[in-house]
């Protein structure tokens, strides 16, 4: 298989995503456990899902176009998993009213970094998905964008919890993302063209 310039750009971007998601996962989960923060731990779980999605899309661009449908279906399943994960972790947080969460400077740092890096990754993946006509990459771009939203939601939640002792705010806001994720997952599942 001959690798085009656009495919090389996708491969490079997916390797950046894999590296960043590995760091984001490790730091967010570690900080979440230390601070007893469900929001940070959930953010780390989201990072694990996105890491797997990035690897699936990366594999598709290494192996070839014939795996586009398989990669698209897998990323659709991962979007559904992400929606379920957010819904369950947010609902558990709201129902259990977990109030033992503490502030975390490391957590705030990783959330701020994600809030800067993830919108760029999502935007670049959307551009490349249109150029390569890859619905799998488009679904992966949605996950990057959702990660950016989640980073801001978790960051606001941690700050508001620290100031006002109201940990339910970030969970309520995260639930608002679920319809968007399900909408994009349905589009990916149906294999709608992105170009």
CATH for 58:
1.20.1510
In a domain, 195, yes or no: no
pLDDT value of residue 99 = 52
Cα dist. 123→129, 146, 164 in Å? 10, 12, 34
Residue 100 burial by Cβ neighbours in a 10 Å radius (0-12, 13-18, 19+)? exposed
In a domain, 194, yes or no: no
C-alpha span between 21 and 15 (Å, rounded):
10
Number of structural domains found in the chain? 1
Rounded to two decimals, the pTM is 0.80
In a domain, 135, yes or no: yes
C-alpha span between 16 and 144 (Å, rounded):
12
What is the crossing angle of helices 105-132 and 135-164, to 10°?
160
C-alpha span between 139 and 73 (Å, rounded):
9
Per-residue model confidence as pLDDT tens digits over 24-80:
999 999 998 888 777 788 788 888 888 988 998 998 888 877 777 888 888 888 889
In a domain, 129, yes or no: yes
Count of CA atoms in the C-beta half-sphere (13 A) of 191: 6
C-alpha span between 38 and 139 (Å, rounded):
26
In a domain, 73, yes or no: yes
Residue 80's domain comprises: 5-97+105-188
pLDDT value of residue 130 = 93
Low-confidence ranges of the chain (pLDDT < 70): 1-2, 97-101, 167, 170, 173, 191-195
pLDDT value of residue 167 = 65
In a domain, 70, yes or no: yes
Are 157 and 184 in contact by the 8 Å Cβ rule? The answer is no
pLDDT value of residue 195 = 54
In a domain, 193, yes or no: no
Count of CA atoms in the C-beta half-sphere (13 A) of 140: 36
In a domain, 116, yes or no: yes
């Amino acid at each position: 298989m001959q690798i085009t310039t656009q495919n090389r750009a996708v491969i490079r971007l997916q390797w950046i995503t894999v590296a960043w998601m590995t760091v984001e996962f490790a730091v967010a989960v570690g900080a979440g456990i230390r601070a007893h923060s469900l929001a940070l731990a959930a953010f780390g779980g989201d990072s694990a899902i996105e890491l797997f999605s990035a690897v699936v899309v990366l594999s598709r661009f290494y192996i070839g176009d014939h795996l586009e449908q398989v990669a698209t279906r897998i990323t659709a399943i991962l979007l559904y998993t992400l929606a379920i994960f957010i819904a369950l972790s947010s609902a558990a947080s709201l129902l259990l009213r977990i109030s033992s969460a503490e502030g975390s400077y490391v957590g705030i740092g990783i959330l701020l970094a994600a809030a800067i890096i993830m919108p760029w990754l999502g935007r670049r993946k959307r551009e490349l998905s249109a150029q390569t006509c890859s619905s799998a990459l488009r679904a992966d771009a949605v996950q990057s964008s959702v990660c950016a939203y989640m980073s801001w939601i978790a960051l606001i939640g941690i700050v508001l919890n620290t100031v006002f002792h109201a940990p339910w705010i970030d969970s309520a806001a995260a639930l608002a993302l679920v319809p968007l994720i399900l909408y994009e997952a349905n589009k990916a599942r149906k294999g709608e063209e992105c170009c």
